[in-house]
Chains A and B, each alone.
Chain A
Amino acid sequence: MTAELHEELTDPHGEQLDHGAASSRPLKSRIAEPQPRGAKIRGNRPVDQSEAANRFMAATEHEAMHDARLWDLRQKRDKEMHGIEEWEELRNLASGIKEHTLSKLDYYLELFEKNATANGIKVHWAKDGAEHNAIVLEILRSRGVERLIKSKSMLTEECGFREFMAHNHVEVIETDLGERIQQLDDEAPSHVVVPAVHKLRTDVASVFAKTIGSDPDNADAHYLTECQREATRPLILSAQAGMTGGNFVVAETGTFVVCTNEGNADLSANTPPLHIASIGIEKLIPGLNELPVFIRLLSRSALGSPITQYTSHFRGPREGGEMHVVLVDNGRSERLGMEKFWPGLKCIRCGACMNTCPVFRRSGGLSYGATYAGPIGLIIDPTFNVHKYRNLPYSSTMNGSCTNVCPVKINIHEQIADWRKTLAGDGEISPVKKVMMKAAGEVLASPVVYRASLPLGRSALRHLPHFMLYNKLNTWGRKRDIPETPKQTFNEWYRKNRKSQEKSQSEGENS
């Protein structure tokens, strides 16, 4: 079975396009490595990110591809950054605009509602995911909608939207290719921009073979894309309603902007007569003057491309159509009131922090077991459920790369440190960490106890100081050699070689 390529998938010289070229390189092994799955979710028990990360790294082809692919995005981002002289100024502006808007959010939300209503948009307010889902279901049911096409939206992931709709017998078709792959595989997106980036082409081939009947042995990216296109296009054309998210909501014009690279949001919004946009209340910006700051930063930060292929402005329903905007809070108002954690609301979901994060690149996004993975996830997820996500802020070396790529200057690594403090203060810290740190604190507060705890002579692990390796599993030594303990500590050397001189000098001075 072969599929003919659409003309736009080849360039005039018959060569594959950039992204396709990267993903169409032959895989090393002939036997496909099975895809590692994400974190094990056990009710409300704290998610064990490192357990899932270890499984991801054990699948070496997946880990290597994931790291290389995302590092490539980071490098493309750097290249774009160097092309913009005023890059740091743009980041300052973007941060300032978001901060301003968030500080007057009630005003801008009402201004948007007024202007959008005047444009013919019906504005709804949802305090949480459940309310959002109920509002959307009501709209769909009252119009007899059985099939909904939608573009990618992290907000609907927060709301558990697809599951809810399946339960209520509304068929939801994702139109973003990556998100569609994840939907067919019954898996959450692993990344806010590239939701199936943790999958190899062989994984996709296997998902498509099972769900849309493609050739399981053909893992050519163009073939797979074409198969999906053929399978999904009729569903899109026959859907009675379309749903999108919204990247930016412009208060002064009562409009909203959706950015995609596949044009799938436009397809979702424009094909059926009914368009519903679900948007978090933090997406507001004051006016169109502020918009270009974000448009210039968004795709450069996300993918290292100058602009998203489609940057679509929605102003109101088409003739004979309907347009609804559901503004969703779902914990955002509460977060806005958190002294240390409100800046997370500035996030424009570009994923740059994920691409640069060395832990994320090696762990895969599903290892976090939460809607938001990577650095931004570490600081947002605990606001949804502090107990379940209490381990996440420890899945970081706090290296600070995330903070410095963030286009809206969220102090991510500082917030990770603040979360650790908050969690430990609230008793939401694992007993091992607590016991170990209490012991360390006591040893290090006393020079005498500290000196007594040090290893003696050139001995191995059993003499390593307790406070450094207070761990039965000796995790340090599993993949690393233990440093040799020298003959004497610096302190001992100093006492022998310098302290005695000091004494004799001062004795000499006194005499």
Chain B
Amino acid sequence: MKVGLFVPCYVDMFHPETGIATLELLERFGLSVEYPVDQTCCGQPMTNTGCEREAAKTEELFVRNFGKYDYIVTPSGSCTNQVRNNMTAIEQTDAVKHVRSRTYELVEFLHDVLKVDAFPWAEFPHRVALHNNCNTLRNLRIASMSERREEPFSKPKALLGMVKGIEFADLTRPDECCGFGGTFSVFEEGVSAKMGQDKVTDQLKSGAEYVTSSDSSCMMHQEGCARRMGANLKYIHIAQILNGARA
């Protein structure tokens, strides 16, 4: 199984440790993982804003970089959603279709493809609040959502549950969007920041020491709000916890 690692632009730039943890974690399962060094982005900022034409060249580059892999894995559900469900600015060739159907968010890849049942190296004796990115939750269906009448399930919780010592903190509005929303965070800054502050307040009330998520983008926004608010909360990507980060 040949795996291509996609490290989204903002992870590359601001959270390299998330990329490193993802790579190391996948290697722990004996996979041959490659990171094509000419990668940039999935095209989401443009598509998200409605500028599909402007996304075309970035999408083409993505397919050129990742066409040769059996699976493309990335520590971002939001980018996975873009590739899988919205990469439509370019002609849908076989290569494009292959890349779109083979791109997985890290948690679903571990849970659904590798069917991992243990992380013997992982231990995280802390109180942790879980945040699901909205694309990851409602479009990739990584967990059941409170809007629907369905059997409760959560792939990230199932994986985190295998980590020694971890304790979950419950939020009062677990599925409420944190207000990042991609370019929304810049274009509609006021509402975005207010939603972020409310999310941080909920996390504080839950008694969490850490917040974790399979998406760095939401956490970058939440962490920015938390720091400005002087809130004592730490943000860590799920890949780091599963890879055995100690704190």
Interface of A toward B, CB cutoff 8 Å: 50, 53-54, 57, 63, 67, 71, 78, 81-82, 84-85, 87-88, 356, 358-359, 362-363, 393-401, 403-405, 417, 419-425, 429, 433-434, 436-438, 440-447, 450, 454-455, 465, 467-469, 471, 475-476, 478-486, 488-495, 498-499
- Closest approach, in angstroms, between the C-beta of A412 and any C-beta of chain B? 12
Shortest C-beta distance, B62 to chain A (Å), equals 9
Choose among B46, B53, B145, B190 the residue that contacts A440 (Cβ–Cβ < 8 A). Answer: B46
Expressed in whole angstroms, the minimum distance between the Cβ of A168 and any Cβ of chain B is 40
Evaluate contact between A358 and B149: CB separation under 8 angstroms.
Answer: no
Q: Do B224 and A480 touch (CB < 8 A)? A: yes
Which of B118-126, B176-184, B203-211 has 4 or more CB atoms under 8 Å from chain A? Answer: B176-184
Q: Which of these, B41, B51, B135, B148, contacts A88 with CB under 8 Å?
A: B148
Please tell me if the beta carbons of B51 and A434 are within 8 angstroms of each other in the complex: yes
Q: Is the CB of A50 within 8 A of B191?
A: yes
Comparing B10-18, B91-99, B160-168, the segment that makes contact with chain A is B10-18
Could you pull out 27 A-B pairs where Cβ atoms are within 8 angstroms?
Answer: A50-B188, A57-B190, A57-B191, A88-B148, A356-B147, A358-B179, A396-B181, A397-B195, A398-B48, A398-B134, A398-B182, A399-B134, A401-B147, A419-B50, A420-B48, A420-B50, A444-B61, A445-B61, A446-B61, A450-B41, A455-B13, A475-B189, A478-B189, A479-B189, A479-B228, A481-B223, A491-B37
Given A53-B190, A82-B149, A362-B194, A479–B225 Cβ distance below 8 Å? yes
CB of B13 within 8 A of CB of A440, answer no
Chain B residues lying within 8 Å of A444, measured Cβ to Cβ, are 9, 40-41, 43, 45-46, 57-58, 61
Query: Which of B185, B194, B196, B227 has most chain A Cβ within 10 Å?
Result: B194
Residue picked from A50, A398, A403, most chain B C-beta under 10 Å: A398
Among the listed A87, A395, A483, which residue makes an inter-chain contact with B14, where contact means beta carbons less than 8 Å apart?
A483
Residues of B within 8 A of A437 (CB): 45-46, 49, 51, 54
Main SS of the interface on chain B? helix
Q: Flag if A88 contacts B138 (CB, 8 Å).
A: no
Check A480/B221 contact, CB under 8 A, given A57-B194, A421-B52: yes
Given known A57-B194, A84-B149, A362-B191, contact A429–B50 (CB-CB < 8 A): yes
B186 at the interface (CB under 8 A from A): yes
Asked if A478 and B223 make an inter-chain contact with CB atoms under 8 angstroms apart, the answer reads no
Distance in angstroms from B243 CB to nearest chain A CB is: 14
B127: shortest Cβ distance to chain A, in Å?
23
Q: Which listed residue (B51, B175, B193) contacts A401, Cβ 8 A?
A: B175
Closest to B52 in A: A421
In-complex Cβ contact of B191 among A53, A438, A445, A490 (8 A): A53
Q: Does B173 contact A (CB under 8 A)?
A: yes
Please give me the residue from chain A that is nearest to B221 by CB atom.
A480
Q: In the complex, what residues of A have CB within 8 A of residue B49's CB?
A: 394, 420, 424, 429, 433, 436-437
B117 on the A face (CB < 8 A): no
- Cβ 8 A contact of A421, one of B9, B11, B50: B50
Select B46's contact among A441, A479, A481, beta carbons within 8 Å: A441
Known A53-B191, A397-B134, A479-B225; contact A404-B145, beta-carbon cutoff 8 A: yes
